[in-house]
A and B are shown apart, each in its own frame.
Chain A
């Protein structure tokens, strides 16, 4: 069946280092991918998205990489800050579908001062 999974449940990094959060997806028909950040007691906050006609997209301190060959997605956070500590979810969707997203289980990012 469809699934989006994350390789590591918890990632611990030193403040100032770069963070890389990985995600695997299984549905080759997915053509829209999105990353969310969720802090405790809050709803998911949109970070960045990418469509399948691209393999890289950059935002402020964040970069998303898409490798369709191996169905892999990653989120890179530059100069990680304590405020980046949260759970990060990747999600996939299909433009031919209703737009509903299939979410992975999440990776907890812990930033050590």
Chain B
């Protein structure tokens, strides 16, 4: 399909392990966002990429979280030394430009044992 694609859809890992989550945005979208959604809660902004500009990392909760976007397309979110409080659904969105409607993938459900 032509929507935002995220993988894996589910990830279960042990506390202390590193995880890498992937996002394929809609083709041609220059803006890419990562959000986190805890059970029964709204979405919490993590990081934003726009073209070649410096990313807005203001939402990353700790230095264990990092993200990159290669070639202006695919993005990976990495969480190092995972903790139980990292358990959540991690959602990626893309938009044609910033301040345009963001379109979301179905997320990666991360469970830390």
Binding site for B on A (CB under 8 A): 4, 32, 34, 36, 41-46, 49, 89, 91, 93, 95, 98-106
Contacts and interface: CB of A to CB of B under 8 A. Distances in A.
A41 B48 CA distance: 23
A49 B95 contact: no
Interface residues of B, number: 27
A100 B106 contact: no
Given A43-B4, A43-B91, A106-B42, A101 B102 contact: yes
13 contacts: A34-B101, A34-B102, A43-B105, A44-B43, A46-B101, A46-B102, A89-B42, A91-B43, A93-B99, A99-B31, A99-B33, A101-B43, A103-B35
Interface of B: 4, 31, 33, 35, 41-45, 48, 50, 56, 58-59, 91, 93, 95, 98-107
Given A43-B106, A44-B104, A93-B99, A100 B91 contact: no
Contacts of A45: 104
Contact of A32 (B41, B91, B99, B106): B99
B104 A99 contact: no
A105 B91 contact: no
Nearest to A89: B42
Given A89-B42, A98-B98, A103-B42, A41 B106 contact: yes
A29 to B, nearest CB: 14
Contacts of A105: 41-42
Contacts of A102: 45
